[in-house]
Chains A and B, each alone.
Chain A
Amino acid sequence: MAKSLATFRRYRRTLARFWATSLTAELEYQANFLIELLSVGGNLAGSVFLLSLFFGHGRSLGGWSWEQALVVLGVYTLLDGLTSTVLQPNLSTIVTHVRTGTLDFVLLKPIDSQFWLSARTFSPWGLPGVVMGLGLMAVAAFRAGARPGPQALVQVAVLLIASAVILYSLWFVLAATSIWFVKVWNATEVLRSALVAGRYPVAAYPAGLRTFFTLVLPVAFLTTVPAEAILGTGSSQWLLASVVVAVVSLALSRWFWGFALRFYTSASS
């Protein structure tokens, strides 16, 4: 017990050091902040305008009203900000480590290599996206008439964490394939461009795509399910399914990493 506590403390301290050094490096480029703000803001404005095109003449999008659809957009923006803050800066380095051989150093540190590779960097420039996403979610939900109580809010938090975990696992597994295929380092770009489907509630898509976005590329779990929870139209089945998918995908990412490492350490120098 004491050993686990000590390990936990070591990991916590390491994470703090990771992010402290990362921020020091990033904050040297302060002009980036304004550019990021403009970029995220402009993107959001454009997305809101685009969404508005679907709602003329009292139409709905797959049964979702304007305010409701904005909640989905808010969740998407939040997750996109998370991607820019943590996922993209960390996981895009895996292929560099593999290519230059510096993965060896990571493997010889007495700390979990998946933890190191996933949490090493923290890019504060993604934070405006996170904040704007949260803001949009809150405002749009309020305008849609949702008044979630404390229990509902806890559910929403759980679902958002589940979405983040699923997103992380997708990214990580894709980035880990660079151990075999260094050439396909831009596979994560394909993922990123496919995930834009999450801007819209999954009901907006035709039946075939809906199934695809639920079972194959779990975009539905990422944005629609948490949005439903905030709006009070969610169900406990989806909550459960989301948590299960999150746990399974995390376990899968862990197993896959072990598998990839076995391959890496069997190859010659």
Chain B
Amino acid sequence: MGFLGPNGAGKTTTLKMLSGLIHPTAGRVEVAGHVPYRRQGSFLRSISLVMGQKQQLIWDLPPLDSLRVNAAVYGLDDARAKRRITELAEMLELGDELSRPVRKLSLGERMKAELLAALLHRPSVLFLDEPTLGLDVNAQARVRDFLADINRRTGTTVLLTSHYMGDITALCPRVLLIHQGHLFHDGPLDELTERLAPCREVRLELKDPAPAEAFAGYGAVESCQGHQVRLLIPRDRLTGAVARLLADFAVVDLEVSEPPVEELIGRLFRQGVVA
């Protein structure tokens, strides 16, 4: 299950409420049969939290030491802990990284070790806050594969927040879109993309600057500053529009990319769906 939304929408706040770190001011929360903010022992043993920006592993020691502490805290005996570590290390492709101090690991390796630490006690619910933030494309793909694997193999409920579309498309059959603290969409991902209308962002670098009005007929103008213009063009009209742009203007550089989700959503609430 994915929580999607721009920065400040309330994704992290929702996650913190579900994991029990924050009291809701109104309404009811129930997770895995417990009220989260009571933070009862049985609840805490069945959940786990991973935050992309912060880490729970001890900085100066190898992950194995932090894992031993966690094993004691969660009441796992040494034999079971060892089995679990081997199992997860294999899935995550971690070997002697576990014996090197955390500060000497790369960001991707650190995130993998964090995931291992989070799953050591077999939680039934895994909360992830921006897990792929700052990772390179390869590392992101590996984290996504791992999460999908875990969910499939063990049935662990995975809730993650992200502002990367890629995380969501790869992992989540069910998506919740949050905007300004409100739930905008709860359902399959294809429904959402259909709703937001498929379109592409076209970035132009012009030889001579042109006013924004000149581009009105090609697509929605996102920004027009001097030589740089950004347009949103629906995919079915993309090739035609690009051809016309190249013909009508002296274009130095042109780039077509997927618009950031924030842009789409922001657009959505400012102007309605892009036709």
Contacts and interface: CB of A to CB of B under 8 A. Distances in A.
Nearest to A269: B12
Given A105-B49, A269-B12, A110 B54 contact: no
A110 B71 CA distance: 11
Given A14-B73, A100-B54, A21 B68 contact: yes
A105 B54 contact: yes
A252 interface: no
Given A21-B58, A110-B41, A265 B74 contact: no
Contacts of B71: 17
Question: Which of A21, A108, A111 has most chain B Cβ within 10 Å?
Answer: A108
A17 B69 CA distance: 5
Contact of A21 (B22, B41, B65, B74): B65
Interface in B96-113: none
B75 interface: yes
Given A24-B65, A102-B54, A104-B51, A109 B72 contact: no
B16 to A, nearest CB: 6
A112 to B, nearest CB: 10
A140 to B, nearest CB: 40
Contact of B75 (A10, A21, A102): A10
A248 B233 CA distance: 70
A17 B70 CA distance: 9
Contact of B47 (A101, A102, A108): A108
A10 B49 contact: no
B72 A269 contact: no
Contacts of B75: 6, 10, 110
Interface in B48-73: 48-49, 51, 53-56, 58, 60-61, 65-66, 68-73
A102 B56 contact: yes
B22 A266 contact: yes
Question: Which of A6, A268, A269 has most chain B Cβ within 10 Å?
Answer: A269
Interface residues of A, number: 27
Interface in A1-52: 6, 10, 13-14, 16-18, 20-21, 24-25
A10 B72 contact: yes
B241 interface: no
B53 to A, nearest CB: 8
Nearest to A12: B72
A241 interface: no
A109 B39 CA distance: 9
A72 to B, nearest CB: 38
B68 A17 contact: yes
Contacts of B58: 21, 25
Nearest to B69: A17
B37 interface: yes
A18 B71 CA distance: 11
B246 interface: no
Contacts of B49: 104-105, 108
B6 interface: no
Interface string B148-164: 00000000000000000
Interface in A210-246: none
Contacts of A268: 13, 22
B132 interface: no
A123 to B, nearest CB: 14
B54 A13 contact: no
A105 B41 CA distance: 14
A187 interface: no
A68 B226 CA distance: 85
Contacts of A100: 54
Interface in B116-144: none
A110 B73 CA distance: 7
Contact of A266 (B23, B39, B54, B65): B23
A102 to B, nearest CB: 5
A114 to B, nearest CB: 13
Given A104-B54, A105-B49, A268-B13, A21 B37 contact: no
Question: Which of B12, B45, B72 has most chain A Cβ within 10 Å?
Answer: B72
Interface string A252-269: 000000000010011111
Contacts of A17: 68-69, 71-73
B56 A105 contact: yes
Contacts of B45: 110
B54 A21 contact: no
Nearest to B101: A25
15 contacts: A10-B73, A13-B72, A21-B69, A101-B53, A104-B16, A107-B21, A107-B39, A108-B19, A108-B39, A108-B44, A109-B44, A110-B45, A262-B23, A267-B22, A269-B12
* Shortest beta-carbon contacts, A-B, top 7: A110-B44, A105-B56, A17-B72, A14-B72, A21-B65, A13-B72, A269-B12
Interface of A: 6, 10, 13-14, 16-18, 20-21, 24-25, 100-102, 104-105, 107-111, 262, 265-269
